[in-house]
């Protein structure tokens, strides 16, 4: 039964990502587009995530498969940090939906992907390792 629920949640996440892509393709790349995308993103964030994003321009999510904590920074590329259990940056990840999407839409897609299908999302992501505070490919 739990596998069926996880599969359903995965499909729901995929459907939401597709809806985001379609809505983004139908809009022009304007300030209004970015504002709408950020409004939608904030509606999907928990109160704690929203407060963190509004203060620091990032928010944390927990991966659905491993329970790993990820920090999604405002942006569209290499904007996800994997954090250790002590909060230290382990590595950076880069994955995003295809298309010329604004940051709010990309971050929402990343959030949904990590929270519903972490392994699937990371299987298509580029990983950059961290050494002594600097990123290394």
HEC assignment per residue over 15-58: HHHHHHHHHHHCCCCCHHHHHHHHHHHHHHCCHHHHHHHHHHCE
Q: Are 103 and 37 in contact (CB under 8 A)?
A: yes
The pLDDT value given to residue 125 = 96
Six-digit token pair at 59? 């928010």
Question: CA-to-CA distance for 96 and 118, rounded, in angstroms?
Answer: 13
pLDDT at residue 92 tops 90: yes
User: What residues contact 129, with CB distance under 8 A and at least 6 apart?
Assistant: 91, 135, 136, 137
Residue 130: per-residue pLDDT: 75
Query: What pLDDT band is residue 30 in, cutting at 50, 70 and 90?
Result: confident
Q: pTM of the full predicted structure?
A: 0.76
**Residue-range domain boundaries for the chain:** 2-136
């Amino acid at each position: 039964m739990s596998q069926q629920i996880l599969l359903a949640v995965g499909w729901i996440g995929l459907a939401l990502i597709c809806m985001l892509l379609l809505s983004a393709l139908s809009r022009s790349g304007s300030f209004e587009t970015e504002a709408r995308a950020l409004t939608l993103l904030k509606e999907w964030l928990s109160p704690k995530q929203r407060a963190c994003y509004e203060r620091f321009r990032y928010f944390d999510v927990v991966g659905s498969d491993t329970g790993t904590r990820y920090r999604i920074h405002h942006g569209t590329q290499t904007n996800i940090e994997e954090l250790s259990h002590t909060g230290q940056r382990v590595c950076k990840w880069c994955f995003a939906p295809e298309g010329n999407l604004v940051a709010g839409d990309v971050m929402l897609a990343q959030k949904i992907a990590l929270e519903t299908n972490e392994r699937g999302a990371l299987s298509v992501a580029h990983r950059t390792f961290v050494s002594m505070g600097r990123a290394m490919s």
